[in-house]
Structure 1
Amino acid sequence: MTQLEVVAARPMTFGTRQRVVSRLRRHEHVWISTTLVLIALAATWGITRWPAVVPWSSFVPLAVVAGLFLPLGMIRGVYLVLVACFTVAAVLKLHDKESLWGSMVILLVVMALMVTVARSRARLGVQGSLGESMLVDLRDRLQAHGELPDLPTGWYAESSVMPAHGDSFSGDFVVANRTRDNRLEVALVDVSGKGVGAGTRSLLLSGAFAGLLGAMAPTEFLPAANDYLLRQRWHEGFATAIHFAVELDTGDYCIGSAGHPQAVRYHVGSGRWDVVDEGRGPVLGVMETSAFPRVMGRMERGDALLLYTDGVIERRDLDLSIGVDRMLGAAERQIARGFEGAAHRICATSAAGEDDDRAVIMIWRR
C-alpha cells in the first residue's frame, strides 16, 4: 500500500460513528417512507376526529419530524397539506377562531424555521439529518490526519489543537507521518481565518498536505504546498506553516518555516529553551517561489522541540515579545515535571485564550 493510500484509509478506522452513518444512508428510503406514512395517517385521523380528540398542538411535532427527515420538495408538500387542513377547519368552523389562528401562527413559524434548515442542507446535496453526519465525518477526518504516529523507543511526541471559542473546526491543523525509512515528518499549519470560517479550507488543505507529507524529500514539501495553494486561487488563500523532519535513527533534523512563528528548541546541555531563528520563508499561497530555506541540527537525548501557532503568543492588547516570553516561561516549567502533557498545558495557557485558534506540538527524545 502506498503512503497516499495509508493516509486516505487511516480516517476510516474511526469505527462506531462511521458505521452508524453508513447504516443510516443505506436505510434512508425506509426513513422517508415511514415518515410519509405517519404524516398521511396523522392528517387523515386529525381531519376526521378534529377537534374532539386531536389537539392543535399535535401538528407542531409533525411539522418538525417532516423537516428533519424529508427532502426539501417533500417538506413543502407536507406543509401545504397541513395548511390545507387548517383552512378546512376554519371554513367548517371546527374550532373556535382564537384557538385556530393562534395554533396556525405557531405552526407557520415552525414551518418557516424547518424550511430554512432544509434549504441549508439542500445546498450540500443531502437530505434529512445526514448533512450533520457528513460534517461530523469530515471533522473526524481532519482530526485523524493530525494523529501522531507511533515512535520507536526513546522518541515521544504530543499535539494539542484548540479551536477558538470551543468550535468543532479550527484554522490550525496538524499533519504527521512516519516514513518507511524511519523518518518522522510533522507540519503545523495555520490557515487564514479562524474557527468554523477557516474549517472548510483546513479540511481541504489537511488532505492535500497529508498526501504530500513523506511522499517527497523534506526540502520539497513547502514549495509543493505553496504551489498547491496558489492553484486554488482563493480570495483568502494564504496560510502559514512550519515543517519538521527528523531521522529517528540518528536524531538529525531539518526545519522549514513559511511565514510561521519560529520553533523553539530545548538543549539538555545548556538547560534552556532557544528560538530557532533560521529557515524562514514567505507565507504559503502569496507568491510563486521555491525559496524556503531549511535549518539543520541534531536532537540529542534529553532535547525537545516545540512548534506552535500564533494564537499561542499573540493577543491584540499584548506585545508579541511578551507573548513569546510567556510561552517560554510555560515551557520552562515543563522541564522539571517532564514533557508528557506539556503540549496541552502550553496550549491551554496561550496568550489569545479562547479568542483565537491555537495549536502546539511537542517532540522530545530520551
Structure 2
Amino acid sequence: MRGDALPRPVHDGIRAQIRRSARRAWTMVRRSSVEYFRGNGSDWLALTIQTTMVPTLAWATSVAPAWVPPTALVFPVIIGGLMLRPASLLVLYAGAATALIVEDAVLGTGPHSRGVSPGTVLVVGGVAFGGLMLAQFRRRVGVPWRRGGTMLFDLRERIRVQSRLPELGAGWHAEIGLRPAGGQLFSGDFVVATRSGDGRVLEAVLADVSGKGMDAGSRALLLSGAFGGLLGSLPPHQFLSAANGYLLRQNWEEGFATSAHLVLDLESGDYELLSAGHLPAMQLIAGTGRWEEKAADGMPLGIAADAEFHGVKGTLRTGDVLLLFTDGLVELPGRELGDGIDRLIGEADRYVAHGFRGAAYPLIEAVAKDTNDDRALLIICRE
C-alpha cells in the first residue's frame, strides 16, 4: 500500500460524508424555494440567484459586447424588483452599479471603444427605480408578488362559494347570475343564502354595495361574510336591523348598501320579501301569464340607526317565478328605471314556455351586456 493512500474504510466514510452534506444542502435549497414561493421565510435564495446573474452578465458583456450589451443588466434588475424585498433589492442594485463601472472600464479601453453610454445608465437606473417603487408597495401591502395572485383567486373563490345557493329539493329551482363591472374579478353585488335546520325555510339575501367593481369588492367580501353569519342565526325580521347596525359601525365613507331579504316556505310556497332600499322584485303568475311587482319599503343599510324595514308577502305556486335583481341590470343611461325593468321582463318572457333553468346569465347578457356596472340576478322557480 502506498504511504499517501487512504484506507478503504476512511475513503468510503469521506464519500458518505460528502453525500450527506450534498443532500443537506439540496434539502435546504428545496425548502427555501418552497417557503419563498409560499411567501414565507427570507428571500436569500432569490437574492443569491440574482446577484449571481449580475457578474455573469458583466463578464459576458466584456467578452462579447455585440451579443450581450450593457443594457442586459436590466434583466436581473427587473426580476429583482418583482421578487425581492427593498433591502435585498438595494444589495442587488449595488452589484449592478459595480458591474456597470467594471463594464465601462473594460469596454472603454482601446482606440475604438466607447464604454458604457449614458443612455444605458439611464435605462438601467430607470428600471431600478421602478422596481424599488414596486417593492416598496408590496412591502406596505404585506403581500409578496408570488402570493398576491393566489390570494386574490382565493378571495374570489370565497365570494363564489358564499354566493352558492343551497339545494331546494324537488319542485324548486334557483340560480344566481353575477357579472362584475368591466369584466373584473370582484363585484359589489353578492348573494348569501341558507336553509333552516329542518330544511323547510329558505332565506336568501341579495345585496348591492355602494360603488362598483374592485372599489366595492373589498366591502362586499366583508359584508358577505358578516351577512352569512347573521343569516339564519336571527329571526327573519331582525336580520336587516342587525345588518344595518353592522354597516353603521364600519364608518365607511361610502358605507351604504341596498338589500332584499327573501324568506320562503318551501312547503307552502308562501314568502315574505323585506327590503332595505332595494329594487322591487318581479313575480310571474303562471295562472295569468302576467308579471306582478313586489315592492317592499325600507331605508338603505348604513344610513340611519333607527331605520325600519317592512315586508311584502306573496305565494309562489306551481309555474310561478320570482326575479330579484340589482340596479346595474335595469338602470339604463338616459332612461327611466321602469324601462329597464320592462326590458328585463320582455327578455324573461322568452323563457316562460321552456323553463328558467340556465337563464340567469343569458338574461344578464341580453339585458345589460355592455353596462359598466355590477349586475346580479336571482331566479327562484316553483316547478
If the length of structure 2 is used for normalisation, what is the TM-score?
0.83
Equivalent residue letter for 1:71: R
Indicate conservation of the 8 Å contact 1:311/1:350, yes or no: no
Alignment RMSD (CA, Å): 2.2
1:68 counterpart residue number: 82
Is 1:210 the counterpart of 2:224? The answer is no
Greater relative contact order (CA < 8 Å, ≥ 6 in sequence): 1
Indicate conservation of the 8 Å contact 1:173/1:206, yes or no: yes
Structure 2 unpaired stretches of 5+: 1-33
- Residue 87 (structure 1) shift: 2.9
**2:353, 2:165 → 1: CA distance?**
24
1:251 counterpart residue number: 269
- Give deviations 1:107-131, integer Å, cap 9, x for gaps: 2232233233323322221223212
Is 1:363 the counterpart of 2:380? The answer is yes
Indicate conservation of the 8 Å contact 2:244/2:302, yes or no: yes
**1:163, 1:65 → 2: CA distance?**
32
> Which of 237, 242, 250 is the matching residue for 1:224?
242
**1:302, 1:238 → 2: CA distance?**
36
2:50 counterpart residue number: 39
Is 1:275 the counterpart of 2:297? The answer is no
- Give deviations 1:282-310, integer Å, cap 9, x for gaps: 01100012510111222112111100000
Give 3-state SS (helix, strand or coil) of 1:60's partner: helix
Q: Bigger shift: 186-195 or 335-344?
A: 335-344
- Give deviations 1:225-251, integer Å, cap 9, x for gaps: 101000001111011111111122222
- Matched residues, number: 343
1:129 counterpart residue number: 146
Structure 1 unpaired stretches of 5+: 1-22
Indicate conservation of the 8 Å contact 1:163/1:195, yes or no: yes
**1:100, 1:335 → 2: CA distance?**
73
After superposition, residues 293-312 of structure 1 pair within 5 angstroms as 293-312=310-329
Indicate conservation of the 8 Å contact 1:50/1:94, yes or no: no
- Residue 25 (structure 1) shift: 6.4
2:155 counterpart residue number: 138
- Residue 106 (structure 1) shift: 2.4
- Residue 97 (structure 1) shift: 4.1
Indicate conservation of the 8 Å contact 2:273/2:311, yes or no: yes
After superposition, residues 288-327 of structure 1 pair within 5 angstroms as 288-327=305-344
- Residue 32 (structure 1) shift: 2.7
**1:232, 1:210 → 2: CA distance?**
17
**1:162, 1:245 → 2: CA distance?**
24
2:18 counterpart residue number: none
Indicate conservation of the 8 Å contact 2:55/2:99, yes or no: no
Q: Bigger shift: 316-325 or 88-97?
A: 88-97
Give 3-state SS (helix, strand or coil) of 1:51's partner: helix
Indicate conservation of the 8 Å contact 1:312/1:347, yes or no: yes
- Residue 26 (structure 1) shift: 7.3
1:17 counterpart residue number: none
If the length of structure 1 is used for normalisation, what is the TM-score?
0.87
1:159 counterpart residue number: 176
Is 1:348 the counterpart of 2:358? The answer is no
**1:119, 1:136 → 2: CA distance?**
23
Equivalent residue letter for 1:40: T
Indicate conservation of the 8 Å contact 1:343/1:361, yes or no: yes
Indicate conservation of the 8 Å contact 2:107/2:115, yes or no: no
Identical residues among aligned pairs (%)? 38
- Residue 202 (structure 1) shift: 0.9
Equivalent residue letter for 1:81: G
**1:313, 1:65 → 2: CA distance?**
46
- Give deviations 1:203-230, integer Å, cap 9, x for gaps: 1111111111111111111111101000
1:117 counterpart residue number: 134
Q: Bigger shift: 222-231 or 58-67?
A: 58-67
Q: Bigger shift: 98-107 or 255-264?
A: 98-107
Larger radius of gyration: 2
- Give deviations 1:69-110, integer Å, cap 9, x for gaps: 222321233123212321333355558547543333222232
**1:30, 1:65 → 2: CA distance?**
19
**1:173, 1:210 → 2: CA distance?**
11
Indicate conservation of the 8 Å contact 2:322/2:381, yes or no: yes
Equivalent residue letter for 2:231: L
Q: Bigger shift: 95-104 or 327-336?
A: 95-104
- Residue 30 (structure 1) shift: 7.8
Give 3-state SS (helix, strand or coil) of 1:349's partner: helix
- Residue 179 (structure 1) shift: 2.5
